[in-house]
Amino acid sequence: MIAQTLLAAAEEHGESEVSGADLILPAPYDLLWSFVIFTIIIVVFTKFLMPKLQAVLDERAELIQGGIEKAEKAQAEAAEALEEYTAQLTAARAEAARIREDARVEAATILSQARKRAGKDADRIVDTAQRQIDAERKQAIVSLRGEVGSLATELAEKIVGESLADDARQQRVINTFLDDLEATVKAEG
Amino acid sequence: MGNLLAVAVRAEAAGEQTKSYLERLFSSDGFHAPSIDEFFPPALLWEGTIFEFNRIMLIRVIAAAALIGVFWFVAARAKVVPGRFQSVVEFMLDFVKDQIVEPVMGDHGKKYLPFLTTLFLAIVFFNITGVIPFLNIASTSLIGLPIFMAVWVYVLYLGQGIKKFGLGGYLKNNLFPPGVPKFVYILLTPIEFLQVFILRPATLALRLAANMISGHLLLVLCFGATQYFFFAASGALKGMGAVTFAAGAAFMLFEIFVALLQAYVFVMLSTVYLNMAIEEEH
């Protein structure tokens, strides 16, 4: 009701040479000025302003990209260094273990060699001592044989009071005596 | 109430305007219903020629100057580390890139991004004059500018499509979409023809202009009624002014939203049409 009245009033009021169709049919001047204004905007923006702004945006993107790349590189380097360090550490540990093992083996060898040498030395000493003992015993036996023979002869001469002129008989008596003596010594050990 | 208004309108029709601007600002010479005359203001210069320059043309020039001025200001001082103002401007650029062009066209869109961004910014600035005090009418509410922008998009997508597929290939792609049984083309081809050659540009232009026209009429209606109720009506009717004023304020906020929304819709559809024209397969 209100709207109708108002519209009716407006139609009466305006001398309206424009009609509703004019709202969708552009007047030539409308198109002309639209063309001029819009073209200016498009040209100024696409030729000057957008490239300028885009350049700044690109530069920023590049900076950020560069920063990211730098960080990535640093990280890669750190990882590489860590890997290298770990590898070195592992190698060093292996080396230490090897050296310890070598030392143990060497020590064992030295020990066994020493033992062997000591054993040999001991054997030799014992051998030498044995031989010396044997030689001394033989010497003792020889000297004893001589001394005991003459002593016994002297004793027998003194006891018998006569010279046992017969050397052959004398020698036979002594030998018999000494053989008995030797047998007794051997039996005793 | 309708009768009261009608009487007021009739009474004022005969009234003459001899008062000063200030006097008229705080008085009412009756209720002026908004009409399509709003969009055909008297010429300022070169009346009757193709160069006729009226208030709406002036507003377009102002909007264009503001747009170029703002971006010139920012572009001249653009830094890698942006300030607050540059951030706002970059937000608008990124909005077109991230919300419209890249989701629709992907990497193919790079080539058209400067144009589509400019189109978006231009429509926003032309639309927003509808709610700026003293300008008070959207530059796009006069059909010429929407038509011109739609034609630009139309020529662009036809041109790009034909450049890519050749005239025959382009027509075949668009009028005989593959993957459809042959007899369906009897129905489909005329529809597609209408779509590609007439409906797309026409709806682009009409949607934008119609939104701006209706927005302007709504605002004029609300504030015109407010003026009348406050200064011409008597008694309880003055209270109605508060209602119409509140409605006007609400519509003003709504018009800001519509200004942005219509710019988004126009550019989004342009991008989609462009993508359809250069896409390999539908």
Q: What is the ipTM of this complex?
A: 0.81
pLDDT at B2 (0 to 100): 45
Q: Is the pLDDT of residue B99 over 80?
A: yes
Secondary structure letter of residue B235 according to DSSP: T
pLDDT at A15 (0 to 100): 45
User: What confidence tens digit (pLDDT) does each residue in A76-118 have?
Assistant: 999 999 999 999 999 999 999 999 999 999 999 999 999 999 9
Distance CA B232, CA B216 (A): 23
pLDDT at A130 (0 to 100): 93
- Cβ within 8 Å of A, B 91-130: 93, 114-115, 117-119, 121-122
pLDDT at B62 (0 to 100): 93
Give CA B64 to chain center in angstroms: 14
Q: Is the pLDDT of residue B173 over 50?
A: yes
Q: Kindly report the average pLDDT of chain A as a whole number.
A: 84
| Band of pLDDT at residue B1, cut at 50, 70 and 90 | very low
Query: Nearest C-alpha of chain B: how many angstroms from A84?
Result: 39
Joined tokens for residue A78: 């750190």
Give CA B44 to chain center in angstroms: 23
pLDDT at B209 (0 to 100): 93
* Greatest distance between any 2 Cα atoms in chain A: 206
| Average pLDDT score over residue span B25-41 | 78
Distance CA A148, CA A153 (A): 8
Asked if B42 is an interface residue toward chain A (Cβ–Cβ < 8 A), one would say no
How many other CB atoms sit within 10 Å of the CB of residue B153?
A: 24
| Band of pLDDT at residue B15, cut at 50, 70 and 90 | very low
| Band of pLDDT at residue A1, cut at 50, 70 and 90 | very low
- Cβ within 8 Å of A, B 209-248: 209, 213
pLDDT at B33 (0 to 100): 77
Distance CA A172, CA A98 (A): 79
Asked if B259 is an interface residue toward chain A (Cβ–Cβ < 8 A), one would say no
Instruction: Tell me if A152 sits within 8 A of A174, measured CB to CB.
Output: yes
Asked if A56 is an interface residue toward chain B (Cβ–Cβ < 8 A), one would say yes
Which of A141, A164, A142, A137 has its CA nearest to residue A152?
A164
Percent over 70 (pLDDT), chain B: 93
* Greatest distance between any 2 Cα atoms in chain B: 73
Joined tokens for residue B76: 């001249």
Nearest residue of B to residue A8 by CA position?
A: B6
User: What confidence tens digit (pLDDT) does each residue in B117-153 have?
Assistant: 999 999 999 999 999 988 888 889 889 999 999 999 9
| Average pLDDT score over residue span B44-70 | 89
Which of B269, B275, B253 has its CA nearest to residue B110?
B275
Q: Is the pLDDT of residue A10 over 70?
A: no
